[in-house]
Structures are given as structure tokens and as C-alpha cells.
Structure 1
Amino acid sequence: MDLKNICRAVLFPVQMLCSILKAGLSLLLPCKRRDLSGDVVLITGGGRGIGRHLAHEFAKQGARKVILWGRTEKCLKETSEEITLLGTECHYFVCDVGNREEVYQQAKILREKVGDVTILVNNAAVVHGKSLMNSDDDALLKTQHINTLGQFWTTKAFLPRMLELCNGHVVCMNSILSISAIPGAIDYCTSKASSLAFMESLTLGLLDCPGVGCTTVLPFHTNTEMFQGMRVRFPQLFPPLKPETVAQRTVEGVRSNKAFVHLPWTMHILIILKNLLPLSALEEIQRFAGSYTCMNTFKGRT
């Protein structure tokens, strides 16, 4: 081992301790928040559900422009009108993020008509709520295209310009199911796990890129039409999240440049338990909570 590597080995524990102390202090001390007044925010799946609430929250927090992408023009138009009434410039474009060529084409049109996107919120998602044996191949491919590949394509379309400007933020609206999967949503869980790996890699890759950051949001079951009918055994202990709460915490995470946002905070306990307990114990927890049967009554939007 040469002298350089010896020095690195000696300094490593010190650097680790400093990082832990810095992270601890950041929880106690107020951090500098991003000023959104110069930002152009693009939200995929922005016409309804969490996307709609995200549009409202970014507008309330002072974003300069909000752009909505989605597949249903009626919903996009309604949300756009609501944002305009709040006093924020808002545009919408019909775009299926599961279609690569459509993403690149609409990205070009957006830049020409509105300008550079500085905050990209990858929110569009679908879930079919069926087992692998009962899902048709087209449905599985659709889920992968929208939940996973769509995120790849939108990021490829807008991240290079963010890096040029040294100003940008990529947001992924993920799910706690990317970490702790359940039966009956194999397409959704798989695609979200892939999406999480993408964001973890991207976050690390952007550490040395000044002015550009990432935020991955991992919420528990949220009370939207997407997961309508999903039932947990103890709703009083594990109530579904309100979409407006998810939107507020997401914008807060972007403004404070937080890499990962777990909602609610108790999801941290789930992650710790999953890494510590044997599989048999985790199975008992899942059975007790009703996770194995929560999708049996699923009637949500696909």
C-alpha cells in the first residue's frame, strides 16, 4: 500500500465521523432553502392526484412557471386553470411519458415555447393490481414504460441543460413499495424498485455537479384514486397519507435539497427492521399488518 492510500485509510474514520455529525446538525439547524422564484417546474402526471397537488404547492411556494404533462387533456386543462388563478404562469402539454419519441418531441416544443426546465418532477405512474399470472404482457410493459423508462427519458431530455446552467433538480415520486413489496402489485413494485435504483445512482453521480440535485420521495399508501380500494388491517394505526401532505413535504424536500423523503417518518423503522430481521419475522409482520391481502379489494385507476 502506497503512502497516498495509507493517508486515505487513516483519514477515512475521521471523514465518516464528520459526515455523521454534519448530518445530525442539519436536522437541528435550519438550512438554506432554495428560492423557487426563478424556477420553471415540469410535473409529469400533473393533471390529477398527487401531481395536481404538487402543481398547487409549487405555485404557492413561488415557482415562476409550472408546466404540466399528462395523457388526459381535460384534467391538465382544469389544473392549469387552477394554477393560473393562483397567479402563477402555467402551461400544459399532452404527453405520454411511456412513449420515448413523444417525450423528446414534447421536450423540444416545451423549451421553444416556455424555456428551460429547472425542476423536473417525475410523478406519472400506473398500477394494475394483479398478480404476475393474471397480468397480460401489454399491461406489464405499460407499467415499466411509464414508471421506469419514462423517468429515464424525461431525465435524459432535461438534465443535460440543467448541468450546463449549473441549476436544476430532479424529483422522483416513488413509493415505499420499492423497498418493501407486497403481493398483487408485482408490476408496480418491480418498476418502482428499478426507479429507486435509478435515483440512487443518479444522486451519487450528481454529487460533484454544483447547483444540480435530486430528491426521491417514498410515501406510504396515499389517499388518491390510483390506489382506491386498497385496505390495510389497522387503518387507525396506518392511515393513508393525504396527497396535499405528500406535496408539501416534497416541495420542502426540494427546497432543502434533501436526497430522500420517507413518508411518514415511521417508514424509517420499516427499513431498519427489513435489514435486521430474518425473512420469517418479516413475513409475520406483513401478515399482521394485512399487507398480503391489502390489494384484494383494489379498484384504483390503471
Structure 2
Amino acid sequence: MDLRTLGCVLLLPLQLLYHTLRAGVRLLLPGRRRDLSGDVVLITGGGRGIGRHLAKEFSQSGAKKLILWGRTEKCLKEACEEINHMGTECHYFVCDVANREEVYKQAKVVREKVGDVTILVNNAAVVHGKSLMDSEDDALLKSQHVNTMGQFWTTKAFLPRMLELQKGHMVCVNSILSLSPIPGAIDYCTSKASSLAFMESLTLGLLDCPGVGCTTVLPFHTNTEMFQGMRVRFPKLFPPLRPEVVAQRTVDAVRTNTAFVYLPWSMHALVFLKSILPQSALAEIHRFSGTYTCMNTFKGRT
């Protein structure tokens, strides 16, 4: 081993210790938050659920303009009017992120009519709530196209300009199910796991790109119509998250340039346990929490 390699090996533990301590200090003493007054924010799936709450939270946090994308014009229009009434300029465009050509076309329209997007929030998602053998092939494909591939198309559409401006932020509203899958939502869990890998890769790829950051939010079951009917065994012990809380934490993570956010914080324990426990022990955790059967009563929006 040459001296240069030896030096790098010896330096690595010190670097890890430094960055761990730095992260701890940031938790205790949060730094200056990003000023959103010059930002144009585009939210996919912005007409309802978490997306609609995200729009309101970005508006309240001072974003310059908001753009909502979705597949249902009625919901988009209602959400857009609500944001405009709050005093923030808001526009909406009907766009299915699963359709690559439609994404590129609408992205061009956005640049021409509204301006350069500096914060992109990939929030659009679908879930069908069926087992693999009970799912239609087209439904399985739809989950992958919306939840995973849609991120590819929106990122390719907007990231290049952010890099040119040296100003931008890529956001993904993911799910803790990307790390701890459950039966009855195999399409959703698989697509979210792919989405997480996409964001992890993108985050690393942008480390040396000044002014452009990434945030991935991994919430527990959230109380929206998307997962209506989902039931855990002990709802008082594992209460669903409120969508406004997810929105608040997401915007705060963007403003503090936080890469990964687990909601609630206790989800860190689940990730840790999964890395050290045998599968048989993990199965007991799933039985205790009721995740084996939580989708049996699912009747949410697909």
C-alpha cells in the first residue's frame, strides 16, 4: 500500500466523525433557511392530498410562483384558485407524468408562460392495493410509469436548466414502504423502492453541482384518500400522519437542504432493525403491527 492510499484510509474515519458531528450540530442549531421568494415551484399530483397541502405550505413560506400538475382538471383548478386567494401566483396544467411526450411538451409550455422552475416536487403517485396475482398487468405497469418513470421524465425536463442557473432543488415525496414493503401493495412498494434508488443516485450525482440540492421524504402511512381503508393493528400506537405535517416537514427540508427525511422520526428505528434482525424476527414485527393484513380493507383512490 503506497503512502497516498494509506493517508486516505487513515483520513476516512476522521472525515466520517466530522460529518457526523456536523449533522448533529445542525439538528441542535439549525442554520439559515432558504429564502423562497425567488423560487418557482412545480408540484406533480398537486390537485389533492399531500400535493395540495404542499402547494399551500410553499405559498405560506413565500414562494414566488406555484405550478400544479395533475390528471384531474377539476381538482387542479380548485387548488390553484385556493393558492391564488392566498396571494401567491399559481398556474395549473393537466399533465400525466407517465406520458413522456406530454411531460416534455408541458415543460416547454411552463417555461414559456411562467418561467424557469427552480424547485421540482415529484409527488404524483398511484396505488392499486391488490396482490400480485389479483392485479391486472396494465395496473402494474401504470404504477411503475407514474411512480418511477415519471420522475425520470420530469427530472430530464427541468434539471438541465437548474444546473445552468446553478439554482434548484429536486424533491421526491416517497414512502417508508420503499424500505419496508407490505403485502397487498406490491406495485406501490416496488415502484417506490425504484424511486428511492433514483433519488439516492441523483443526490450523489449532484454533490459537486453548486446551487442544486435534493430532498427525499419517506413518510409513514398518511391520512389521505389515496390509502383510504388501510388499517394497522394498533392505530393509537401507529397513528397515520396528517398530510399538512408531511407538507410542513417537506418544505422545511427544502429550506434547510436536508437530503433525507423520515416521518415520523421513529421510522429510523425500523430501518435500523431491518439491517440487523433476521427475517423471522422482522416477520414478528409485521405480525405485531398488522402490516400483513393492513391492505385487506383498502378502498383508496387508484
TM-score for both structures, normalised by structure 1 = 0.99
Q: State the partner residue of 1:74.
A: 74
Distance 1:109 1:142 in 2: 25
Distance 1:30 1:50 in 2: 25
Q: Displacement, 1:4?
A: 2.0
Q: Secondary structure of the equivalent of 1:169?
A: strand
Deviations 1:140-177 (A, max 9, x none): 01110000000111001000110111100000000000
Q: State the partner residue of 1:194.
A: 194
Q: State the partner residue of 2:245.
A: 245
Q: Displacement, 1:29?
A: 1.1
What does 1:276-291 align with in structure 2 at a 5 Å threshold? 276-291=276-291
Distance 2:65 2:159 in 1: 18
Q: State the partner residue of 2:5.
A: 5
Q: State the partner residue of 1:147.
A: 147
Q: State the partner residue of 2:32.
A: 32
Q: State the partner residue of 1:235.
A: 235
Count of residues paired in the alignment: 302
- Please identify, of 6-15 and 285-294, the stretch whose mean Cα deviation from structure 2 is larger: 6-15
Distance 1:248 1:145 in 2: 27
Unaligned ranges ≥5, structure 2: none
Q: Displacement, 1:32?
A: 1.5
Q: State the partner residue of 2:300.
A: 300
Distance 1:69 1:145 in 2: 16
Distance 2:107 2:15 in 1: 41
Q: Displacement, 1:31?
A: 1.0
Distance 2:17 2:260 in 1: 21
Q: State the partner residue of 1:162.
A: 162
Distance 1:15 1:289 in 2: 39
Q: Displacement, 1:235?
A: 0.3
Q: State the partner residue of 1:263.
A: 263
Q: Displacement, 1:27?
A: 1.1
- Deviating 4+ runs (over 4 angstroms): none
Distance 2:22 2:93 in 1: 42
Distance 1:10 1:190 in 2: 39
Root-mean-square deviation (CA, aligned residues, Å) is 0.7
Do structure 1's residue 105 and structure 2's residue 105 form an aligned pair?
yes
Deviations 1:193-222 (A, max 9, x none): 000000011111111111100000000000
Question: 1:86 is aligned with what amino acid?
Answer: M
Q: State the partner residue of 2:272.
A: 272
Q: State the partner residue of 1:176.
A: 176
Distance 1:13 1:203 in 2: 22
Identity %: 79
Q: State the partner residue of 2:218.
A: 218
Q: Displacement, 1:238?
A: 0.5
TM-score for both structures, normalised by structure 2 = 0.99
Q: State the partner residue of 1:114.
A: 114
Q: State the partner residue of 1:87.
A: 87
